[in-house]
Amino acid sequence: QVQLVESGGGVVQPGRSLRLSCAASGFIFRNNGMFWVRQAPGKGLEWVGVIWYHGSDSDYADSVKGRFTISRDNSNNMVYLQMNSLREEDTAVYYCAKDSATTISGVRYYYMDVWGNGTTVTVS
């Protein structure tokens, strides 16, 4: 079945770096964009960024732009989130999610149809 498994979370001091990984299985990974979404303790969901299926382009939330980088390895079905210059406000559960779309009456609708279980990052 389609599965996403994150890893790499932990406790890190402010200003330090951390790299998260997301292992994908059960679908043709190279055909899909991949997202990172985070959730601070007791808070809602925040879109972090996206990497396109080919890996040559990405986009980021303003809150992480210039500090976080998303990359992918289509040969090994992996996506990564490199987090530099971490701040206490980056403390959250980080989820990777699969980009998906459906065409209805000629209109393309996008959504995140599969999510991983998340990995916890604590900056303190």
Partner 1 sequence: DIQLTQSPSFLSASVGDRVTITCRASQGINSYLAWYQQKPGKTPKLLIYAASTLQSGVPSRFSGSGSGTEFTLTISGLQPEDFATYYCQQANNYPRFTFGPGTKVDVK
The residues binding partner 1 (CB under 8 A) are 33, 35, 37, 44-47, 50, 59, 61, 95, 99, 102, 104, 107, 109-113, 115-118
Q: Which is nearer to partner 1, 46 or 78 (CB)?
A: 46
Q: Which is nearer to partner 1, 2 or 15 (CB)?
A: 2
Q: How far is the CB of 59 from partner 1 (least distance, A)?
A: 6
User: What is the C-alpha separation between 78 and 13, in angstroms, rounded?
Assistant: 26
Q: How far is the CB of 109 from partner 1 (least distance, A)?
A: 4
Q: What b/e readout covers 6-28, taking b as 16+ CB neighbours within 10 angstroms?
A: bebbeebeeeeebebbbbbeebe
CA dihedral 87, 68, 39, 25 (to 10 degrees): -140
Q: Which is nearer to partner 1, 44 or 66 (CB)?
A: 44
Q: Which is nearer to partner 1, 16 or 66 (CB)?
A: 66
Q: How far is the CB of 15 from partner 1 (least distance, A)?
A: 27
CB-side exposure of 14: number of CA atoms within 13 Å?
4
Q: How far is the CB of 5 from partner 1 (least distance, A)?
A: 11
Helix (H, G, I), strand (E, B) or coil at 89: helix
Q: How many helices (H) and strands (E) does the chain have?
A: 0, 11
